[in-house]
Structure 1
Amino acid sequence: MLAIPVLVAVLLLLVPVPQGLEPYAWHFFAIFVGVIVGLIFEPLPGAVIGLTGVVVIALFSQWLLFSPAELADPSFKTANQAFKWAVSGFGNSTVWLIFGAFMFAAGYDKTQFGRRLALILVKYLGRRSLTLGYAITFADLLLAPFTPSNTARSGGTIYPIIANLPPLYGSKPDDPSARKIGSYLMWVAITATCITSSMFLSALAPNLLALALVKSVVGFDISWGMWFIAFLPLGLLLLLTMPLLAYWFYPPEVKFNDEVPRWAISELEKLGRLSRNEILLLVFVVSALLMWIFATAWIEPAMAALLVVVLMLWTGVLNWNDITSNKPAWNTFAWFATLVALADGLARVGFIAWLGKEGGLLLHGYDPQISAVVLMVAFFLLHYLFASTTAHTTALLPAMLTIAAAIPGINMPVFCLMMCTSLGVMGIITPYGTGPSPIYYGSGYLPTKDYWRLGTLFGAIFLGLLMLIGYPWMVMMF
């Protein structure tokens, strides 16, 4: 297993450099693919794979990272710049928001507030696993229009609550019992947030960026209502059927249980009234949610999360040992930070720009409808190369819009809406595809092979339905 990612990287390094691409950019891409293969087969922990890729590129940056022009500049400090690039992912706001979400979950666990909320859910909806899946989906739907960060919404608010549900059924992380119910609930949660991120303009930060890029490149204005109506038929269908699809394709072992809801009632009685720390945690979490919804112009969502972590430490809700001993948080923090640096590096070396240019040349002379479909599919699948929807939007959306605008006959309003509303659902395809993905992947309930398999399956379903339902509906709109 350990040899597979190395072999893939070496084979790509030996392939002749494609025309129009700088050798160092192709070599960087070869290492990046090797890392992705390593994350799929996981011969070593994901953090080790990601860190290895970053270190290799930084050590051999003269051949993998920097252009000849940069190296020829006497004032360019190669070693210094290579190190700055290698650690750049650790300064990414989404990485810190993910870390904050894990700390929120630690607070829910230590105070037993998460257990209390989980018991309440189980009391009313816990007889069937399927109804719990729908409860998680609709909870995300209620928060989505008002929370422009899906990491904050799903990772910081939904995950800390549902992480307490599986143990009530004897379902434990990193254990065969995970499949009892935990795996199903975690998959439903990440899938739900991907759907709601596409459904509302205000449910995902890159949606707002996409709006500005469409206006700048094409001159087309997309309103909140237009976005919502464009995705509404597909969004409703996905929200109503997704928990059931997950129930079929990734079935929980526990489907019905009359005893657990009755047991939950007795456990709630044992918990008694809210404790001081539970009340404090509730105040802090609600404050964070309000900042995420209303104060993003004044405070970065990640900073709001860190502020709450500090408040939890000062008030004794958590102690410093709770932070340092949280292995899943630090593991996810490390592997996602390295992956962010690697994915951003693809744009830095010019690989993404070259890919967009070559794509435009390949489509020259084809039917405009076929060209639009090819561009849409390519835009969706190229998300495998990105650890950030923001980076994907910044790097690829302008190129795709420019290529499409140059092809006579393409319905640009429809094309723009298709591209923009795909940003949320495409996050399902990988364990690093959108902000909350690493949180659910790091929960211990979604093994690597299961995540990649389900990501491919649900990604194909989402893309297929976007073409079969979303596209005709948007054509009717324009």
Structure 2
Amino acid sequence: MKPLPNSRKPAKAVSMTSGKKNRLIMLFLPVIVAVLLLLIPVPHGLEPYSWHFFAVFVGVIVGLIFEPLPGAVIGLTGVVVIALFSQWLLFSPTELASPGFNQATQAFQWAVSGFDNSTVWLIFAAFMFAAGYDKTQFGRRLALILVKYLGRRSLTLGYAITFADLLLAPFTPSNTARSGGTIYPIIANLPPLYDSKPNDPSARRIGSYLMWVAITAACITSSMFLSALAPNLLALALVKSVVGFNISWGMWFLAFLPLGLLLILTMPLLAYWFYPPQVKFNDEVPRWASQELEKLGKLSRNEIMLMVFVICALLMWIFATAWIEPAMAALLIVVLMLWTGILNWNDIISNKAAWNTFAWFATLVALADGLAKVGFIVWLGKEGAQLLHGIDPQVSAVMLLVAFYLLHYLFASSTAHTTALLPAMLTTAASIPGINMPVFCLMMVTSLGVMGIITPYGTGPSPIYYGSGYLPTKDYWRLGTIFGAIFLIALMAIGYPWMTMMF
């Protein structure tokens, strides 16, 4: 029977057509946003090339949020566009007119500058650590032990991950090393035990919850201890240099203690409410884990060697940072794993998640550093100082803190954020009579860890957990906004009064 002339299209065909249109809209949305910003008159006091760079940067961020293409493709596209049109997007007229200045060479060097960033290599090494845990089954063994004793409830697993990070944090001045080298390789083995797979609807069974708990724990502990995050030490030096205020390890710890304890104790529960696992209670899995541990038997030679290597890496990250960069220590362990047969070269080159994250984060680092290079960050600081003129000191302090926190959206590195913005914020605050500078300084420096939660690139461990396949892009941005707001409100509502009592 022939269809009637006015018969409707099948629902499936309509759905596919609608899906293609939506994808097309998302594909062009970053371009439209960038073009609209390019058409806006350049703000007063800012060079045209700086504004044009910012326009492309915002386009890339919009692309990362909606992800019409993989994140690495979006980031690489942004870098290539800026490098190709560097005359209008990257370099000042003075630089272009300098004798011997080779625009093409300089543009290329900037485009690939993210690939020599130590955090990028530390993240890459973290994926190799995880591969070693997986291949030797050492990670599975540790995961089974966790499940055997704490796996009856998903919530208790969340607390186990949180307390593991808390125990390591005071002694590991790199949250990327701590998360990527120790925590992530272990918990990556947990979801499969509950039939929860990455890049699959089953991710929500338990894997998504555990990965989100892990990244939030890393951010909280990074704020809790002076020695838990490398930029904390940089912030300490900047505060002393700009303001002349000395912050000791104990002062930092006490300043964040009430808020830190509250967040540590409630965060797994908050994640349980806002991003609930489908598997909440399971009596059978712990019993099964006991049986699987018996099947694994004694530790193998490769498991023992991997355990020794990981302990060595941890010791280097804690005690030897003056002699060996954490990223180099991690790469040394990767080389040892290759020489001892724990991994082979095929394990390295076939690790798609590692290479994808490596390319994605490296391009973001270059783009974020470019904002400082073109002078956009300095201009932003000056404009902020002018806006605050004549405003109540307490209100000014809050506005500066909120601005410092939210501007982390522009950075793919806590170190870059600290270097670019903290001196400007401290100088601005010091020029406003009535601001309690010791309290302001403590509020600023202790915000460095928790602000990393807001984006999938906000701090070193973020790309690791985002690249795990258990945290879809939309979920990450949504949860980052929710938890970022919770952390910021808690910092002002609990941290500020407590620090004011201290000083």
2:471 equivalent to 1:446: yes
| TM-score (ref. length: structure 2) | 0.95
Match of 1:285 among 300, 310, 322: 310
What corresponds to 1:232 in structure 2? 257
2:288 equivalent to 1:263: yes
Q: Distance in 2 between matches of 1:83 and 1:187?
A: 36
2:109 equivalent to 1:71: no
| TM-score (ref. length: structure 1) | 1.00
What corresponds to 2:177 in structure 1? 152
What corresponds to 2:62 in structure 1? 37
Q: Distance in 1 between matches of 2:371 and 2:470?
A: 31
2:447 equivalent to 1:426: no
1:74 Cα deviation from its structure 2 partner: 2.2
Match of 2:156 among 124, 131, 134: 131
CA displacement 1:418-475 (0-9 Å, x = unmatched)? 0000000000000000000000000000000000000000000000000000000000
CA displacement 1:246-294 (0-9 Å, x = unmatched)? 0000000000000000000000000001111111111111110110011
* Paired residue secondary structure (2:459): coil
1:4 Cα deviation from its structure 2 partner: 0.4
Question: What's the % identity of the aligned pairs?
Answer: 89
1:329 Cα deviation from its structure 2 partner: 0.2
Match of 1:369 among 394, 417, 431: 394
* Paired residue secondary structure (1:2): helix
1:75 Cα deviation from its structure 2 partner: 1.0
Q: Distance in 1 between matches of 2:40 and 2:102?
A: 30
What corresponds to 1:356 in structure 2? 381
Superposed CA RMSD in Å reads 0.3
Q: Distance in 2 between matches of 1:156 and 1:187?
A: 17
Match of 2:299 among 255, 274, 282: 274
Q: Is the 8 A contact 2:129 2:180 kept in 1?
A: no
2:441 equivalent to 1:407: no
What corresponds to 2:345 in structure 1? 320
Q: Distance in 2 between matches of 1:458 and 1:199?
A: 16
What corresponds to 1:170 in structure 2? 195
Summarize the alignment of residues 374-393 of structure 1 with structure 2, pairs less than 5 Å apart: 374-393=399-418
Q: Distance in 1 between matches of 2:208 and 2:352?
A: 20
Match of 1:20 among 36, 45, 55: 45
Q: Is the 8 A contact 2:452 2:458 kept in 1?
A: yes
CA displacement 1:67-94 (0-9 Å, x = unmatched)? 0000011211110000000000000000
Q: Distance in 1 between matches of 2:241 and 2:342?
A: 47
What corresponds to 2:8 in structure 1? none
CA displacement 1:376-407 (0-9 Å, x = unmatched)? 00000000000000000000000000000000
Match of 1:245 among 270, 273, 289: 270
Q: Distance in 2 between matches of 1:148 and 1:74?
A: 43
2:493 equivalent to 1:468: yes
1:155 Cα deviation from its structure 2 partner: 1.4
2:70 equivalent to 1:61: no
Letter in 2 for 1:44: L
2:125 equivalent to 1:100: yes
What corresponds to 1:416 in structure 2? 441
2:213 equivalent to 1:207: no
Match of 1:7 among 20, 32, 39: 32
Q: Distance in 1 between matches of 2:351 and 2:339?
A: 18
* Paired residue secondary structure (1:36): helix
1:141 Cα deviation from its structure 2 partner: 0.3
1:336 Cα deviation from its structure 2 partner: 0.2
Larger Rg: 2
Q: Which runs of 5+ in 2 are unaligned?
A: 1-25
Q: Distance in 2 between matches of 1:213 and 1:109?
A: 41
Letter in 1 for 2:482: L
1:156 Cα deviation from its structure 2 partner: 1.2
Q: Distance in 2 between matches of 1:51 and 1:186?
A: 26
1:26 Cα deviation from its structure 2 partner: 0.2
CA displacement 1:14-59 (0-9 Å, x = unmatched)? 0000000000000000000000000000000000000000000000
What corresponds to 2:324 in structure 1? 299
Q: Distance in 2 between matches of 1:324 and 1:103?
A: 10
**4+ residue runs of structure 1 moved beyond 3 angstroms?**
none
Larger mean Cα displacement after TM superposition, 68-77 or 85-94: 68-77
Letter in 2 for 1:237: L
